[in-house]
């Protein structure tokens, strides 16, 4: 981390107007690898360092929640060799990064259709979550086997079951009640959504939660994303006037 990045972290640390929750669509691993004539999995492996940099920086600056779009429900349609490699890579990263996450007081949260993950991956996630459960610092959420529409449908199923059982009154359902049936109801909506690789779409990520999120897009491919880019996004956020649909 260079001196300029360090000084920017110091200047932002503890500011009351920091985004409480930053969510990131980590895109561009495959293109990064293709540009270098490497296998796609090489791009995913290269994306490990940006994740580490974002976790460290958010923890140091004082961002309370960081959510990473790690593997979507649509990603299951990728070649089985790539999916298998991704799952093994995730298990390896969880094991190798656990000590540093613990030392940085990070909590781990996982959301998505977790039952679709391989048993070994679920076991690795459970071990990591349990190991970090007593921490009270940055809440790191991995969106795995995740889709925004799938999350809403799963929530509707749970609400319908509760109403059918007579435990809730359908006429009493409002936004606040509905969000309690989402995957991670205790995690606040993102203040800032970051998208790498220059694509101008939200790709089925946190569709309910990003209703009023500020969006920051960069052409940088995820493996090239640095702490400096994250700070650029946060500093851009701090210049914005959030009106939540109110008039100018």
- Cβ atoms of residues 135 and 106 within 8 Å: yes
Among 2, 4, 17, 27, the one annotated catalytic: 27
Q: How far is CA 240 from CA 7, 19, 203, 234, 244, in A?
A: 22, 11, 24, 10, 12
Helices (H) and strands (E) in the chain, counts: 9, 6
Burial of 172 (0-12, 13-18, 19+ CB in 10 A): exposed
Contact predicate 207/190, CB 8 Å:
no
Out of 2, 17, 29, 75, the active site residue is 75
Q: CA torsion sign, 93 to 109 to 131 to 128?
A: negative
- Annotated active-site residue 109? The verdict is no
Residue carrying structure tokens 């429900």: 73
Considering only the C-alpha atoms of the chain, give the largest distance between any 2 of them, rounded to a whole number of Å.
Answer: 60
* Distance between CA atoms of residues 197 and 148, nearest Å: 20
Radius of gyration, alpha carbons of the chain: 18
Backbone φ and ψ of 17, nearest 5°: -95, 10
Spatial CA neighbour of 208 closest among 176, 231, 236: 176
75 is catalytic: yes
Among all residues, which ones are annotated catalytic?
27, 75
């Amino acid at each position: 981390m260079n001196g300029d990045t360090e000084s920017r972290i110091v200047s932002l640390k503890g500011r009351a107007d920091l985004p409480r929750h930053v969510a990131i669509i980590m895109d561009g691993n495959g293109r990064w690898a293709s540009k270098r004539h490497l296998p796609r999995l090489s791009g995913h492996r290269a994306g490990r360092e940006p994740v580490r940099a974002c976790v460290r920086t958010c923890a140091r600056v004082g961002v309370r929640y960081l959510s990473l779009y790690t593997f979507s429900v649509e990603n299951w349609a990728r070649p089985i060799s790539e999916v298998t490699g991704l799952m093994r890579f995730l298990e390896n990263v969880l094991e190798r990064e656990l000590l540093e996450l613990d030392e940085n007081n990070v909590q781990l949260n996982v959301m998505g259709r977790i039952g679709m993950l391989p048993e070994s991956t679920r076991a690795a996630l459970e071990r990591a979550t349990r190991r970090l459960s007593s921490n009270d610092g940055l809440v790191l959420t991995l969106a795995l086997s995740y889709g925004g529409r799938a999350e809403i449908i799963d929530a509707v199923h749970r609400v319908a079951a509760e109403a059918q059982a007579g435990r809730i009154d359908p006429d009493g359902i409002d936004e606040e009640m509905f969000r309690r049936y989402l995957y991670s109801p205790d995690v606040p909506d993102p203040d800032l959504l970051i998208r790498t690789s220059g694509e101008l779409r939200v790709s089925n990520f946190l569709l309910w939660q990003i209703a009023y999120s500020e969006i920051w897009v960069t052409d940088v491919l995820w493996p090239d994303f640095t702490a400096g880019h994250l700070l650029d996004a946060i500093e851009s956020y701090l210049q914005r006037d959030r009106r939540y649909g109110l008039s100018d």
